[in-house]
Amino acid sequence: MSQTAINVPPTAARRDASPIRDLLLLLAGFVLVYFLPTGLRALANPDEGRYVEIAREMAATGDYISPRLNGVLYFEKPPLVYWLEAGAVKIGGMNLWALRFWPIALAFLGVAAVYGTGRALWGRAAGLWSAAALGSSLLYYGVSQVIILDTAVSVFLTCALCAFMLAVRAPPGPMRRRWCWALYVAMALALLTKGLIGIVIPCAIIFLWLLLLNKWRELRHAHLFSGMGIILVLALPWHLAASLANPPPGGWNWSHFFSADRHNQGFLWYYFIHEHVLRYIDPTTEHRVQPWWFFTVILAAGFYPWVFFLPSAVRSVAQGGWARMKAEPEIILLFLWVLFPLLFFSASSSKLPPYILPCVPPLALLVGRWLARLLAGQNAVALVWPLRSLAITGFLLGALLAAAPFLGILPPTILPWIGGLIPLFILLGVALVNSTHSKRGKVREGLPAILGCTVLLLMVFNPIVNDYLAVKRPSTASVADWLGPRLHEGDKVFTLWDYGPYQDLAPLLGRTVGVAGQIPDEQEFGLSLETSQLASRYPGLVNYFALPANPTVAQVDNALLPPFVELLRGPARVYVLVEAGKYPLFLKSHPEAPAHVVWHDEHFVVFSNQPNSDL
């Protein structure tokens, strides 16, 4: 890395307020906006139910090497988030604040990294505005409120690339070495969170940066060998242990390993070939195909409300052309940080909105830098058009929400919350219009209005999402509350026809459940490895694996349901959870099955094979 440190702007050279005070202020905001509302929502299915159940089983069995979902080997992702959640389960049980502590804590780490980087590069104001833009952006907030892997991997990628930018600025010596080591630690943690993208994305961005600026000599001071050692020490042990604990059933066959055939494969094939290669290139591996522009739209909407400031921020650094941008190489890195993941994930056959989250932090840094320099230069008039654009959008969103009950475009359960959002968007629009039509010195008053309204919007976000999810994938908490106290030793609990909407049932009951009438796609590989051991909880499993490729629905039902009906006729008491609309279908197709309703609500029916269940 270069011997000459990049010139620091005057705003960064001043003695600013203590960063500790700023971080405490940001932490207070996080506790209020991020943490306190998070216990208002039940676990969301399938994702939160899935990851909590994997963590619960780790904590219960003590096996931290081979993740299991509902007792089935689950090799889709590395274990770091599972380990963190297992600790939360051990300490707090099924307490929702405990379970969602780690996504929020990691989200704060990402905001703190952006604040520290912005402050170091462009001054305190840039750090604060960057942190505010990231922490109040819709996608960053929304993903951090859910127990999934995307917040963690995005934060570790953010820490890695922020550490690289700070390492570039430091002269060779102990400080640079520490920042380089921080880069490698963050990449290793990203690798342990979501696989090889934890290495591929930051390395590709850094490579392109070195290529564009012809800075290959920087690698002499990158501490590559010690960095490789750090990554291997942190990430290799689990990968080796999982490979040894779960080898191919028939022994290693490397010629067969590099294929799409899952027969006689173990952990190593599923984790590397299926999850990293086939999932990316083969649209039939996952049912998540979206158009190529999907992530561009998600990123623009997810960076609300700060997306309106982004064109001006980009234009401010691009006006001087390539020569001016080369004078601030961090800006080029930020552009690459946005563009490479955007193109990388857009080319994938598997697309889900949270995948694009790593692109939000560099956008926040670009906007934070622009706002800080704009306000310091007393040129707040440049805020007028972004503020007016946001005001117009606020009015339009308010009008759209007002019309929603008449258009039928939103679920009825969230309509009561719309009454609070409509005046919020109207208030934002009025405040911004007022600020842009006042004296120039008043223009900057629009920024606190944006922050205030956005904070209120995010705090309403939790109950809205809770009611929206209750329509799509309702929580089984009410089922578990009723069923849990009534279960006795030897009783069996099954879900019928669909495990996905019921994935929170197992952690809420504190036990694995049976699955009837379906073999979940995400569990099929794990079930194929332990068919005989799991056949009692997945009736008809042996019959299912004897079916031809691409079986029809009728063939699957004929393989799975008769053994389940035989189980219902047995002496053990069985409770079965099924969607309310599907219970009559089961009775119609199997009228001979003992199926007595013991509990129901608008979403679910619980029936038992014994009419005299302990009610």
Share of the chain above pLDDT 90, in %: 64
Q: What is the pLDDT of residue 285?
A: 54
Residue 68 phi/psi, 5-degree rounding, is -130, 140
Q: What is the pLDDT of residue 137?
A: 94
Confidence category of residue 322, pLDDT binned at 50, 70, 90: confident
Q: What is the pLDDT of residue 63?
A: 97
- The span from the CA of 549 to the CA of 538, in Å, is 19
Q: What is the pLDDT of residue 102?
A: 97
Q: How far is CA 92 from the centre of its chain?
A: 22
Q: Is residue 271 packed enough to be buried (19+ CB in 10 Å), middle (13-18) or exposed (0-12)?
A: buried
Name which residue leads in pLDDT, 403 or 176: 176
DSSP for 51-111 reads HHHHHHHHHHH---SS-EETTEE--SS-SHHHHHHHHHHHHHTT-HHHHTHHHHHHHHHHH
pLDDT of 420 higher than 60: yes
Sheet holding 604-608, edge to edge: 514-516, 492-496, 574-579, 604-608, 596-600
Q: What is the pLDDT of residue 283?
A: 61
Name which residue leads in pLDDT, 17 or 288: 17
Q: What is the pLDDT of residue 484?
A: 94
Contact status, residue 269 vs residue 526, Cβ threshold 8 Å: no
Q: What is the pLDDT of residue 13?
A: 42
Q: Which of 6-20, 111-125, 335-349 has the lowest mean pLDDT?
A: 6-20
Least Cα distance to 543 among 571, 514, 519, 575 occurs for 519
- The span from the CA of 187 to the CA of 312, in Å, is 32
Q: Which residues pair with 515 in a beta bridge?
A: 495
Please tell me whether residue 492 adopts helix, strand or coil conformation: strand
At what angle are helices 197-213 and 174-194 packed, to 10 degrees?
140
pLDDT of 610 higher than 60: yes
- The span from the CA of 612 to the CA of 598, in Å, is 9
pLDDT of 527 higher than 70: yes
pTM recorded for the entire structure:
0.91
pLDDT of 280 higher than 60: yes
Confidence category of residue 12, pLDDT binned at 50, 70, 90: very low
Task: Name the DSSP letter for residue 217.
Answer: G
Contacts 24+ apart (CB under 8 A), 243-252: 243/267, 243/268, 245/65, 245/66, 246/66, 246/73, 246/75, 246/529, 249/529
User: Which secondary-structure segment (H or E) carries 581?
Assistant: none
- The span from the CA of 402 to the CA of 397, in Å, is 8
pLDDT of 612 higher than 70: no
pLDDT of 310 higher than 70: yes
Name which residue leads in pLDDT, 134 or 41: 134
Structure tokens at 602: 């608008």
Q: What is the pLDDT of residue 400?
A: 85
pLDDT of 284 higher than 70: no
CB atoms within 10 A of CB 452: 14
pLDDT of 40 higher than 90: no
- Which residue type sits at 546? A
Cis before residue 46, ω within 30 degrees of 0? yes
Average pLDDT over residues 348-360: 90
- The span from the CA of 42 to the CA of 441, in Å, is 46
pLDDT of 82 higher than 70: yes
Please tell me whether residue 548 adopts helix, strand or coil conformation: coil
Contact status, residue 65 vs residue 240, Cβ threshold 8 Å: no
Q: Which residues pair with 492 in a beta bridge?
A: 574
Contact status, residue 209 vs residue 336, Cβ threshold 8 Å: yes
Name which residue leads in pLDDT, 561 or 473: 561
Average pLDDT over all residues of the chain: 89
Average pLDDT over residues 163-179: 94
Query: How many Å is the Cα radius of gyration of the chain?
Result: 27
478-511 pLDDT, tens per residue?
A: 999 999 999 999 999 999 998 888 999 999 999 9
Q: Which of 430-434, 446-450, 465-469 has the lowest mean pLDDT?
A: 465-469
52-61 pLDDT, tens per residue?
A: 999 999 999 9
Q: What is the pLDDT of residue 10?
A: 46
Q: Which of 402-406, 410-414, 546-550, 555-559 has the lowest mean pLDDT?
A: 410-414
Confidence category of residue 424, pLDDT binned at 50, 70, 90: confident
Least Cα distance to 365 among 210, 558, 134, 587 occurs for 134
Name which residue leads in pLDDT, 410 or 516: 516
Share of the chain above pLDDT 70, in %: 92
User: Which secondary-structure segment (H or E) carries 574?
Assistant: strand 574-579
437-456 pLDDT, tens per residue?
A: 755 556 777 788 888 888 88
